[in-house]
Amino acid sequence: MDATADTVFRPAIPPRRAGKPLALLPFLWISWRDPIRMWSERHFDEPQLHGNSAFGEILVVSHPAGVRHVLTENAANYVKGDLQRRVLGPMLAEGLLLTEGETWRRARRILAPLFTPARMATLNARMAEVCAARVAGWSLSARGRVLDVDSEMSGLTFDILSATMFSDELGGEAKGFERALNQFLANGARIDPLDVLGAPDWAPRLGRLASVRSARFFEQRVTRLVEARRARIETGAPAPDDLLSALLLARDETGGPGSQGAGLSDEEVAANILTFILAGHETTARALGWTLHLLSRQPEHLARLQAEADAFDVSDPKWAEGLPWTRAVLEETMRLFPPAPTMARKALAEDEIGGQRIGAGATVIISPWILQRHRLLWDDPDAFRPERFLPENRKAIDRYAYIPFSAGPRVCIGAAFAMQEAMIALAAILRVAQVEPVVRDEPRPVHQITLRSREPMRLRLRARRTATPVS
């Protein structure tokens, strides 16, 4: 660990394996425990690697032309893998993240207007209020207090979703949601050996049985919320102007196949709310947590961001332009610690990628974890160097070498929402807080759907005495 600006900081990561293929048992064990440990040194050196695994034929693609081919140019030939559906399906089956074909296209058409820049701009002030309230709740003093950053950031991003999407109608349930989500991620949202071995769906998966309670908790709360809001809209009573009302009122007016101005069913609305909570709250919380950790070890960058935070004014329509280092630090953090570290696709028909023929049914892995640390694509890939993402340098980065939000038609619909809330949250925190590590050892990432910290991430936050000068 080093904290000076002129020494390069390379955050701790789990050891990488040497190139030998894994035997079946270690493969199953690593898939279940921490899939990012599956990747060997060769994955970070070679543009793509082809082979056979317990999943069948598999191609790991880590070069921009191949990523562009799979995610954009020939996206119609790829669907999300069965594994993703098995892992997340019990919670999100009818939601945007997991549906395919015309069902997905129609939902995407209906949901896209909810996430336009104009719509996002209406959420700034509410996001800033929620962040200020959470930070005030910490009652920071000069002595400081140690925060469980994972839990606080999850609480914060949940509060933001709850305020902007449901006008706080889920209010007060953040802790219950967090508990249920942790239970789901720790038990159910794992690659079960039975899935890898192709066991039928009815064969009971231990982890998934343990997560049934959390799935039921989510479903009940969200269904209640949707039904209550639908009833309110139908009686003609004024409904809050939030994303839930927009979701219930949204119609497919684009004239796409089967559109005829139809909206989403209550089941689809509920599944999409769950999707937004699961895809939106956990990922952004992890991005914020890793960012605070990296800043705690880099006082020079911390001071830069504090200076930007001091001048931050959410009522200025151009507020984001005043936070170039904040954005760059976030983007560099998501390069090194992508909240969604791996994407899997299944080829519907045979294809050729980077000169390699693959058969129908082959699995293609595109991993931001590998791609964004790849030695052929990045200078000093494991080093934390946010200046890569300053406006003057950013255009040198290939669109398909940096994909924390994916790319192509299935790009994250909430990317602008996430960047906006994360920048506002950082500004709110750093305006008042000094951030310091508590222990010498750095937290290390573990892949449990999102990239989480293996040990609880704890940091000391102290009240800042003055704005920190920046060179």
Q: How many residues bind ligand HEM (CB under 6 A)?
A: 23
Instruction: Restricting to residues 88-107, name those near ligand HEM by CB under 6 A.
Output: 96-97
Instruction: Restricting to residues 306-345, name those near ligand HEM by CB under 6 A.
Output: 339-340, 343
Report the residue number, 97 or 156, with the smaller CB distance to ligand HEM: 97
Report the residue number, 87 or 140, with the smaller CB distance to ligand HEM: 87
Sign of CA dihedral 337, 123, 390, 289: negative
Considering only the stretches 28-36, 44-52, 222-230, 275-283, report the one whose residues sit in contact with ligand HEM under the rule CB under 6 A: 275-283
Position 365 contacts ligand HEM (CB under 6 A): no
Report the residue number, 28 or 449, with the smaller CB distance to ligand HEM: 449
User: What is the C-alpha separation between 170 and 168, in angstroms, rounded?
Assistant: 5
Residue with tokens 């892995």, as numbered in its chain: 365
User: What is the C-alpha separation between 339 and 432, in angstroms, rounded?
Assistant: 26
Report the residue number, 372 or 434, with the smaller CB distance to ligand HEM: 372
The correct pick among 405, 435, 447, 451 for binding ligand HEM (CB under 6 A) is 405
Strand partners, 356: 353
User: What is the C-alpha separation between 80 and 325, in angstroms, rounded?
Assistant: 35
Decide: 307 and 468 in contact? Cβ < 8 Å.
yes
Q: Which amino acid is at 436?
A: E
The correct pick among 274, 287, 323, 371 for binding ligand HEM (CB under 6 A) is 287
Position 177 contacts ligand HEM (CB under 6 A): no
Give SS3 for 453: strand
**Cβ of residue 468: shortest distance to ligand HEM, in angstroms?**
26
Q: Which amino acid is at 220?
A: Q
Cα angle vertex 384, ends 380, 390, to 5°? 100
| Half-sphere exposure (Cβ direction) of 336: Cα atoms closer than 13 Å | 29
The correct pick among 404, 430, 442, 452 for binding ligand HEM (CB under 6 A) is 404
Considering only the stretches 5-13, 19-27, 254-262, 412-420, report the one whose residues sit in contact with ligand HEM under the rule CB under 6 A: 412-420
Contacts of 44 (CB under 8 A, 6+ apart): 16, 62, 370, 373, 374, 375, 381
**Cβ of residue 9: shortest distance to ligand HEM, in angstroms?**
21
Cα angle vertex 136, ends 174, 168, to 5°? 35
Position 275 contacts ligand HEM (CB under 6 A): yes
**Cβ of residue 248: shortest distance to ligand HEM, in angstroms?**
16
The correct pick among 269, 417, 427, 464 for binding ligand HEM (CB under 6 A) is 417
The full DSSP string for 43-107 is GGTSSEEEEEETTEEEEEE-SHHHHHIIIIITGGGEEE-HHHHHHHHHHHTTSTTT--HHHHHHH
**Cβ of residue 145: shortest distance to ligand HEM, in angstroms?**
26
User: What is the C-alpha separation between 219 and 225, in angstroms, rounded?
Assistant: 10
Q: Using CB atoms, what's the residue nearest to ligand HEM?
A: 414
Report the residue number, 306 or 450, with the smaller CB distance to ligand HEM: 450
Report the residue number, 163 or 413, with the smaller CB distance to ligand HEM: 413
Do the strands 343-347 and 351-353 form a parallel or antiparallel pair, or are they unpaired?
unpaired
**Cβ of residue 76: shortest distance to ligand HEM, in angstroms?**
14
The correct pick among 147, 279, 423, 429 for binding ligand HEM (CB under 6 A) is 279
**Cβ of residue 204: shortest distance to ligand HEM, in angstroms?**
26
**Cβ of residue 342: shortest distance to ligand HEM, in angstroms?**
9
User: What is the C-alpha separation between 26 and 40, in angstroms, rounded?
Assistant: 14
Report the residue number, 35 or 414, with the smaller CB distance to ligand HEM: 414
**Cβ of residue 427: shortest distance to ligand HEM, in angstroms?**
16
Question: In Å, what is the CA distance from 407 to each residue of 75, 83, 107, 330, 366?
Answer: 10, 20, 18, 18, 11
Where do contacts with ligand HEM occur on this chain (CB under 6 A)? Answer: 80, 96-97, 108, 275-276, 279-280, 283-284, 287, 339-340, 343, 404-406, 410, 412-414, 417-418
